[in-house]
Structure 1
Amino acid sequence: MVSVFSLWLPILVSGVLVFVASSVIHMVLNYHRHDYRALPDEDGVMDALRGFDIPGGTYSVPHAASREVLMSEAFQAKVKRGPVAFMTVLPAGRPLMRSSQLVQWFVYCLVVSLLAAYVTGLGLGPGAEYMSVFKIASTAAVMGYALAHAQDAIWTFQGWPATARSMFDGVVYGLLTGGAFGWLWP
């Protein structure tokens, strides 16, 4: 068994590697550019929504506040009439990318690495072979980075191609994490 505290270096290095890799994926490789599609008459849709002064948040249309509403004929008629949408609304003027999001992403990377360290440290002792460390740490990290994306496709109808791209990213991040742990294992 290896203490999480003794794994501070692989936790930090793997967090940095994942942060850099995600930057390269999103800013250089750009294969996520088709994850979101444009609405027809985008300006018209924005003008229409602007008139409602919707506060920032996550919304569903139509919205069922209870199971009774969900099962009602009136709600079912709204669904049948359409459109049905899940949307996130940002406050007007808020930039799509802020430094606080990058900080939150880096903290998330460190948390996934911390959990990978915990799981790997439970199963292996000091001096463990690279591949043993790599297998456990990368598996734990892939679970942290990749698996939750499937929920978006299942429950909010995000397209499976976009989901698969995000899950692929998670596998890359997991492999980088496993590599850092294998390299820096005490």
Structure 2
Amino acid sequence: MDVVLLDLWLPILAAAVVVFFASFAAHMVLKHHKGDWSKLPNEDAFLDMMRAAKAPAGQYMFPHCCDYKEMQNPEMKKKLEAGPMGTMTIWPGNVSMGRNLALTFATYLLITLFVAYLASVALHRGEDFLAVFRFTATAGVMGHCFGFFGHSIWYGQSRRAFINDLIDGVAYGLLTGVVFGLLWPASSVTLPV
């Protein structure tokens, strides 16, 4: 008998919760992400300059170039050669920890929902642990890892931060596979009347 998405509500929710707490552990207990960010030299002077600029919240690239044609402009070429080049995000005020935690959980829930959908199409009731684990862990790794590759390539994420995110994503995918393997629906059994 086929599995429908509604049959997988428990593994969907359980996997999202497990991954959420694994993410907490990765960032707050293991602290392997501590070195992912560096402090700017002359941070106080930089912050004073940013306050004076009154740049609104948003994403910025410097030097900013609208298109390829502008990139060919001799003045822009000088800026690019002289450096520095980079990107910056300015947040709108203080960070809301509660909001960000809720959005993080929602992201894990969405990834797990897609893993469940794929599994419901490919697997049947009563599949053994290994078959379910192999499929859902692979889909989980894809969901938790591959989304940030482009960001790392184009926006200068450090190799260390990339590897840490990759390790986390693989761990989250494997945990997703374990949860689905353990909670996968058994074969339907017809009881004699």
Fold conserved between structures, TM > 0.5: yes
Q: Deviations over 1:112-146 (max 9, x none)?
A: 11111111111110000101000110111111111
SS of residue matched to 2:87: strand
On the 8 A contact 1:152/1:163 being kept in 2, the answer is no
Aligned residues: 184
Alpha-carbon deviation of 1:159?
1.1
**Partner Cα separation in structure 2 for residue 5 and residue 139 of structure 1:** 21
Aligned to 1:49: 50
Alpha-carbon deviation of 1:152?
2.4
Q: How do 1:45-124 and structure 2 match up within 5 A? A: 45-92=46-93, 94-95=94-95, 97-124=96-123
* Unaligned residue ranges in structure 2 (runs of 5+): 186-193
Aligned to 1:143: 142
Alpha-carbon deviation of 1:99?
0.7
Alpha-carbon deviation of 1:185?
0.3
Alpha-carbon deviation of 1:5?
1.2
SS of residue matched to 2:171: helix
SS of residue matched to 1:58: strand
**Partner Cα separation in structure 2 for residue 129 and residue 153 of structure 1:** 37
**Partner Cα separation in structure 2 for residue 170 and residue 71 of structure 1:** 39
State the AA in 2 paired with 1:67.
Y
On the 8 A contact 1:133/1:182 being kept in 2, the answer is yes
State the AA in 1 paired with 2:108.
C
Give the alignment's Cα RMSD to 1 decimal.
1.1
Using structure 1 for the length normalisation, give the TM-score: 0.95
Aligned to 2:29: 28
State the AA in 1 paired with 2:117.
Y
Alpha-carbon deviation of 1:71?
2.5
1:8 aligns with 2:14: no
| Structure 1 outlier segments of 4+, above 6 Å | none
On the 8 A contact 1:138/1:175 being kept in 2, the answer is yes
Aligned to 2:190: none
State the AA in 2 paired with 1:37.
S
1:173 aligns with 2:172: yes
SS of residue matched to 1:51: helix
On the 8 A contact 2:86/2:156 being kept in 1, the answer is no
Q: Deviations over 1:81-108 (max 9, x none)?
A: 111110111134x13x521111111111
Alpha-carbon deviation of 1:165?
0.3
Whichever of the two has the greater Rg, that structure is: 2
